[in-house]
């Protein structure tokens, strides 16, 4: 059954030929967009909705989340706000709680946060394992997540669990753990960072994942300058995420590669880290994505609009740059930029309608809930 969305005051398509349209319309049929153009030329459809001048954009593509968890880290957050430095080791607190939780409890947490995200315009979600850190718990995290989100990433190399040395644990991740989890995920990731895994250990994890046919992702350059970006580019990873500390060489490497620089500004605020230099990346020609990094320790938000507002107000991205990064950029980081994060014929019908006349209001009115309606795979979700 086809549906005409008309009366669109501003339509952000992310398509290089269509650009941004005004007084526009689009038609969806099933789970796909089948027509986009001026409202005056719109074809007939089985049903129609007049959006009365509101702005429309692709649904947010959140390409970096950690939704399979249990427990609470409010105490850690409060201590950080009182001046304690952020350390990667806080992950261990969540690992203990996650291992103790039932499948039903973990599924409820995933569903709660997916619903929260969708209600704010997110229509495509990646999430990671990484709070199990043993074979049975990483496997169940992957299985549970695969039934609730769009993309799942294996992050067994999130932290070295208590009782293990790093090299022995990497052997487990690359061997028995990866073999168990690989059938249930699309990606493999590694936290290449001081306090987690060094460059050599990270390379071993990524190369093992590639041998299992998994795409590559990297957590890198969050807490200091390091090898994460270089490794991601060398191995043709789809994205390197955080990118808080970048040398000029890192920026140049990203600009000359297919690897997306995924920035996580809500995390940097929560951990009181510097915000990434988005303009250096954009000016060099790198592809930039924005994502929420929703997790219980360092970025407990599902609001992509919040991330966009930070990017505009504090990282000096233009509104159009930030919106593109949070939609098409996220899709590119998942290597699905022809399917999602874009509104043109043949794309997935993931549509976010703002209760505002333009996307500028996302930064002009920060913190105000502006989502009016959401279609996800052609089905109205709000």
How far apart are alpha carbons 371 and 359 in whole angstroms? 11
Q: Is 295 annotated as a binding residue?
A: yes
Q: What phi and psi, each to the nearest 5 degrees, are found at residue 35?
A: -160, 140
Q: What phi and psi, each to the nearest 5 degrees, are found at residue 36?
A: -145, 135
Pair type for strands 20-29 and 351-354: unpaired
CA neighbor of 95 nearest in space, from 134, 65, 128, 150: 134
C-beta of residue 227 within 8 angstroms of C-beta of residue 202: yes
Q: Is 239 annotated as a binding residue?
A: no
How far apart are alpha carbons 289 and 257 in whole angstroms? 14
C-beta of residue 91 within 8 angstroms of C-beta of residue 158: yes
Q: Is 186 annotated as a binding residue?
A: no
C-beta of residue 282 within 8 angstroms of C-beta of residue 263: no
C-beta of residue 304 within 8 angstroms of C-beta of residue 331: no
Q: What phi and psi, each to the nearest 5 degrees, are found at residue 367?
A: 85, -10
Q: Is 73 annotated as a binding residue?
A: yes
Q: What phi and psi, each to the nearest 5 degrees, are found at residue 378?
A: 80, -5
Q: Is 212 annotated as a binding residue?
A: no
Q: Is 86 annotated as a binding residue?
A: no
How far apart are alpha carbons 278 and 30 in whole angstroms? 37
The strands making up 122-128's β-sheet, listed across from edge to edge, are 60-62, 122-128, 151-157, 187-192, 215-220, 239-242, 260-263, 288-290
Based on its alpha-carbon atoms, the radius of gyration of the chain, rounded to whole angstroms, reads: 20
C-beta of residue 316 within 8 angstroms of C-beta of residue 282: no
Q: Is 297 annotated as a binding residue?
A: yes
Distance of CA 63 to the CA centre of its chain: 2
Q: What phi and psi, each to the nearest 5 degrees, are found at residue 40?
A: -65, -20
> What does the DSSP assignment read for 145-171?
HHTTSSEEEEEEETS--TT--HHHHHH
Tell me the binding residues for N-formimidoyl-L-glutamate: 131, 295, 297
Tell me the binding residues: 64, 66, 73, 131, 158, 219, 222, 293, 295, 297-298
Tell me the binding residues for Fe(3+): 64, 66, 219, 293
Tell me the binding residues for Zn(2+): 64, 66, 219, 293
Tell me the binding residues for 4-imidazolone-5-propanoate: 73, 131, 158, 222, 298
């Amino acid at each position: 059954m086809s549906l005409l969305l008309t009366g669109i005051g501003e339509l952000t398509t992310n398509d290089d030929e269509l650009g941004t349209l005004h007084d526009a319309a689009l038609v969806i049929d099933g789970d796909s967009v089948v027509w986009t153009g001026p409202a005056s030329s719109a074809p007939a459809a089985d049903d129609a909705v007049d959006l009365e001048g509101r702005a429309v954009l692709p649904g947010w593509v959140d390409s970096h989340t950690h939704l399979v968890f249990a427990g609470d880290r409010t105490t850690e957050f409060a201590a950080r706000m009182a001046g304690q430095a952020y350390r990667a080791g806080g992950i261990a607190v969540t690992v203990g709680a996650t291992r103790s939780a039932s499948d039903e409890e973990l599924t409820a947490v995933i569903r709660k946060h997916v619903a929260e995200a969708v209600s704010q315009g997110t229509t495509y979600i990646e999430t990671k394992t990484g709070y199990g850190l043993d074979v049975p718990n990483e496997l169940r995290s992957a299985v549970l997540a695969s039934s609730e989100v769009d993309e799942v990433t294996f992050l067994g190399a999130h932290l070295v669990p208590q009782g293990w040395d790093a090299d022995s644990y990497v052997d487990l991740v690359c061997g028995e753990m990866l073999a168990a989890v690989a059938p249930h995920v699309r990606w493999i990731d590694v936290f290449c960072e001081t306090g987690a895994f060094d460059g050599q250990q990270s390379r071993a994890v990524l190369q093992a994942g590639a041998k299992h046919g998994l795409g590559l992702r990297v957590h890198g350059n969050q807490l200091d300058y390091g090898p994460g970006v270089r490794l991601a580019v060398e191995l043709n990873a789809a994205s390197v995420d955080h990118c808080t500390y970048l040398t000029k060489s890192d920026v140049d490497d990203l600009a000359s590669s297919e690897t997306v620089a995924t920035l996580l500004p809500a995390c940097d605020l929560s951990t009181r880290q510097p915000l990434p230099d988005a303009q250096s990346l954009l000016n060099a020609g790198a592809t930039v994505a924005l994502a929420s990094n929703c997790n219980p320790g360092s970025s407990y938000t599902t609001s992509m609009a919040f991330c966009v507002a930070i990017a505009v107000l504090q990282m000096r991205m233009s509104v159009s740059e930030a919106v593109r990064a949070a939609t098409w950029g996220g899709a590119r980081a998942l290597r699905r930029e022809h399917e999602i994060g874009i509104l043109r014929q043949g794309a997935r019908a993931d549509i976010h309608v703002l209760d505002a006349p333009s996307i500028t209001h996302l930064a002009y009115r920060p913190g105000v809930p502006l989502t009016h309606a959401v279609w996800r795979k052609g089905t109205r979700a709000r």
